[in-house]
Structure 1
């Protein structure tokens, strides 16, 4: 990910779709004229031929993918920018069905701006980072740079946590890929256009050496987003060209090169209508030797969403995406994997905030004030900020939107609100709208507000305009937001409310969600409660439901 990220809207004619990184120990042989689907099925074995999956495998915002397998379990790490906790980890047993497992970065303790304390961290924080597993000590490692200043490494013996900071390195490994070599040495590939490799100490706490290994030709432009692999004795650095290409470096002489470059794809037609070119992902091998590439496509307003394709290798050790009709397939045969030990937890459904902790599907807008919220068979949000600007309000709790269309409904007890308080359910991004409650002069109204905006430096340019309202009473209300995040379409968000949980009344005009890529993160459903006069009020969310048509 880069500040020089190319606009995802750029479209060129399909020029090439070949290449990829290299080498499975099992030679791939296919009949002449075989289709991509049949080749993939053959590569994965006959048991896979009967079942298939469709892309995207997850229609939620999980960008800058790093994907690994430990035993028969797959783990997937992604960027979260200013959201906290950071660096979510998804888990799967088949590469297709995924669940939330945890977060590698428990809190963004990188400065007051991540607390919304005198400054803001929008579009900073957790960028493209790396997840790896080290068999020698049975430990997971997360590595990422923050604010172009330092690199942080966190470790855990289970992805659910607890995660703790292992070290801070005074070198910003930009868009890094962490490799645990077969001899247990730790290497990091990193950089933008100029690509370097660093070797870490045996304990992973310090840098032993670093060396530039590649300089991107000006004819290509930007390469970044390193993923580092050792496959059949060769070293590979997988490098996207944002937002329409993927390249690979290969060394037969060790991690410091020399490396040769090959194009994997450029302007390849993707499987999501209206979406961008698949790029910036990772390679993973199943237990039976089959390779797959998980990339993302720009699909705003929903964000960047993962798509999966099988990979084969050339005889000289380069990877090739298996295409369908000259494009990344809308579907492929399912990977041949062992029967899962259990069904994964769905990414949608009902959360009654049971227990006393938040589930890992939730992330705060910046770090929360932990003294102002609690979970105890329901979520209580006390006002944590006196402000007139939702973008400055602490303790706004967010959930990714499920595509292509979905609806979020909350049941809210507002009886403990105070005069000046604002609470509700937002569609949150750099252009936002919400439905919720305004309490003023002892009276509570349900309102729809739009016109919350930021500029490209992420400063607030609009704090919102009330577009519709209605009187309410009784202390309990259901609020609903529906989002259509199909890229290239109309992008409407609509709001409604109910006083009985059954009959919903539309409130306010349709809100057109923005699709500028520069905010990077997609829209989220967001639960908020802030004060405009004084702290002391609270609301209680008894139920959150995310549903699809």
Structure 2
């Protein structure tokens, strides 16, 4: 996870000096062809039978940690100010993924995460770690919040319930949790200065922490630690944001000494217009093959996962298998057992039946749970009196599917009150929406733009109407289409329907920017807030996310 960074000058052929103050800490550039296997041949633009294409998930899942437990793969990702936080993804083949649950059920880290007097935009759940401990058959999630302390959550199933096990006063920045073969818990963490901590057997306290590596100035920043023990040696996998990946190796134990090699730098990625794959994790399949699941900066959509095979040199260093000198658009599919079932699609229809939201949904900050319900559709009662959507509680978000996708919502607005605003937004630090305004007993569908934040995430624009139309009846269909191909600002469009069949465009295209500094990509968002008094509500009876 990065808050700010500067690209450092680097020569691929330059031999780096030893890390300052580290005994035997020599730094070796990784050059030449690996001795274990040859790179695969050039793949087609679209996967043939027995191949997969990148990105394996074209949705916003960043700072990935990935593990395998038996025949199942799990991954965790950053969610910042969205709640619940730290989604757990599940796959049986490393290619097809579903969202199984969230490791952090509520962001109970202070009032700002409730939009109570302060806001937590671009805070909250950053790069964190997911691990499994065979001795007690328990999943562990570990991450620091607000540079203040570290939180550790556990569950016996990724669907939950997840419970907080402990807090630790040391903030383990960009942590990687290792369950060693002797069941000891270690954490690698830090930015530029990399440390390792040992936890108590129950995981509740810190036993020891020690600096193990200082990044050479010629490399710049290293962070995003992932911690492994492979063939008796310890590895700390580190990212150089946002264009490189490095690895430290120790034969002397978890506290070092460590040597370093470059894994990749300025590598062409698999998404046109996107960035360099980095800051992910290594995982081994059941048959011994290794893969690297990284993310690609791909704004305005966010940071999306890409998968590549990895081999190891005879002296124990990982090498990403390339296609014509780049991270491949396609590779042979991992050889794994047949899946026990198909994973749940991340697109499709939700009619909000049952007693809980599907895990594909996350709130913008914590919701007021007295003001929403599911069962017979999703009911959103007004939870905030404000003219600023960025302050409105109970705004429910859904990731956008790339490269282009459309969200369509059926909305019953009969219980809205004067001054209420409800609708469907494209939400980020510059936002727009289509929705319903109730004023003087009359209802209009409006297209609103000009919702903006500054670089400190303070509101600089609360929005203004760009177009409107009268709305008969009590139901309306709202639609937002988003192009999130990276490399440039992309258009979002809005339309509405009174019968669910014929849609009418409303207002101009909305330009979705591709700046990285908000970190999270654009999302579709359902909202209902009051500008005068609480008491109104809307009901979403159907949400559909579709692709061309």
Query: TM bucket by the smaller chain?
Result: over 0.9
User: Within 2, Cα distance between the matches of 1:272 and 1:535?
Assistant: 45
Does residue 1:453 correspond to 2:452, yes or no? yes
CA contact (8 A) 2:10 2:219 kept: no
Question: Which position in structure 2 is the counterpart of 1:510?
Answer: 509
Q: 1:12 to 1:274 in 2, by over 3 A?
A: farther
User: Within 2, Cα distance between the matches of 1:144 and 1:213?
Assistant: 20
> Cα distance, 1:36 vs. partner?
2.1
User: Within 2, Cα distance between the matches of 1:543 and 1:13?
Assistant: 54
Deviations 1:213-269 (A, max 9, x none): 000111111000000000000000000000000000000000000000100010000
CA contact (8 A) 1:396 1:527 kept: yes
Deviations 1:305-332 (A, max 9, x none): 0000000000000000000000000000
User: Within 2, Cα distance between the matches of 1:545 and 1:356?
Assistant: 19
- SS of the residue 2:78 aligns to: coil
User: Within 2, Cα distance between the matches of 1:370 and 1:6?
Assistant: 41
Does residue 1:72 correspond to 2:71, yes or no? yes
CA contact (8 A) 1:37 1:333 kept: no
Question: Which position in structure 1 is the counterpart of 2:311?
Answer: 312
- SS of the residue 2:370 aligns to: helix
Structure 2: stretches of 5+ with no match in the other structure: 15-27
User: Within 1, Cα distance between the matches of 2:493 and 2:343?
Assistant: 30
User: Within 2, Cα distance between the matches of 1:12 and 1:516?
Assistant: 24
Deviations 1:5-41 (A, max 9, x none): 348xx9999889x988xxxxxx9854xxx542499xx
User: Within 2, Cα distance between the matches of 1:123 and 1:466?
Assistant: 27
Question: Which position in structure 2 is the counterpart of 1:381?
Answer: 380
Question: Which position in structure 1 is the counterpart of 2:40?
Answer: 36
> Cα distance, 1:486 vs. partner?
0.3
Question: Which position in structure 1 is the counterpart of 2:2?
Answer: 2
Does residue 1:475 correspond to 2:474, yes or no? yes
Q: Give the 5 Å matches for 1:8-87.
A: 29-30=36-37, 34-37=38-41, 51-87=50-86
CA contact (8 A) 1:423 1:539 kept: yes
Structure 1: stretches of 5+ with no match in the other structure: 21-26, 40-47
Does residue 1:144 correspond to 2:164, yes or no? no
Question: Which position in structure 1 is the counterpart of 2:214?
Answer: 215
Question: Which position in structure 2 is the counterpart of 1:529?
Answer: 528
> Cα distance, 1:488 vs. partner?
1.5
Q: Give the 5 Å matches for 1:329-340.
A: 329-340=328-339
CA contact (8 A) 1:381 1:539 kept: yes
Question: Which position in structure 2 is the counterpart of 1:280?
Answer: 279
Q: Give the 5 Å matches for 1:92-107.
A: 92-107=91-106
- SS of the residue 1:328 aligns to: coil
Question: Which position in structure 2 is the counterpart of 1:494?
Answer: 493
TM-score by length of 2: 0.94
Deviations 1:46-84 (A, max 9, x none): xx9950000000000000000000000000100000000
User: Within 1, Cα distance between the matches of 2:42 and 2:389?
Assistant: 52
Q: 1:253 to 1:493 in 2, by over 3 A?
A: same
CA contact (8 A) 2:151 2:164 kept: yes
Question: Which position in structure 2 is the counterpart of 1:24?
Answer: none
User: Within 2, Cα distance between the matches of 1:331 and 1:314?
Assistant: 23
Q: Give the 5 Å matches for 1:347-362.
A: 347-362=346-361
User: Within 2, Cα distance between the matches of 1:109 and 1:11?
Assistant: 41
User: Within 2, Cα distance between the matches of 1:135 and 1:291?
Assistant: 21
User: Within 1, Cα distance between the matches of 2:545 and 2:224?
Assistant: 32
User: Within 2, Cα distance between the matches of 1:543 and 1:3?
Assistant: 37
Q: Give the 5 Å matches for 1:107-256.
A: 107-256=106-255
CA contact (8 A) 2:349 2:542 kept: yes
CA contact (8 A) 1:438 1:447 kept: yes
CA contact (8 A) 2:233 2:249 kept: yes
Question: Which position in structure 1 is the counterpart of 2:431?
Answer: 432
CA contact (8 A) 2:309 2:320 kept: yes
Deviations 1:105-149 (A, max 9, x none): 000000000000000000000000000000000000000000000
- SS of the residue 1:113 aligns to: helix
> Cα distance, 1:529 vs. partner?
0.1
Question: Which position in structure 2 is the counterpart of 1:91?
Answer: 90
CA contact (8 A) 2:89 2:98 kept: yes
User: Within 2, Cα distance between the matches of 1:213 and 1:19?
Assistant: 19
- SS of the residue 1:81 aligns to: coil
Deviations 1:384-408 (A, max 9, x none): 0000000000000000000000000
- SS of the residue 2:398 aligns to: strand
User: Within 2, Cα distance between the matches of 1:525 and 1:544?
Assistant: 11
User: Within 2, Cα distance between the matches of 1:470 and 1:152?
Assistant: 49
Q: 1:228 to 1:49 in 2, by over 3 A?
A: farther
Deviations 1:178-227 (A, max 9, x none): 00000000000000000000000000000000000000111111000000
Question: Which position in structure 2 is the counterpart of 1:42?
Answer: none
> Cα distance, 1:368 vs. partner?
0.1
TM-score by length of 1: 0.94
Structure 1 residues 489-498 or 60-69, which shifts more? 489-498
Q: 1:441 to 1:178 in 2, by over 3 A?
A: same
User: Within 2, Cα distance between the matches of 1:14 and 1:547?
Assistant: 43
- SS of the residue 2:224 aligns to: coil
User: Within 1, Cα distance between the matches of 2:136 and 2:336?
Assistant: 26
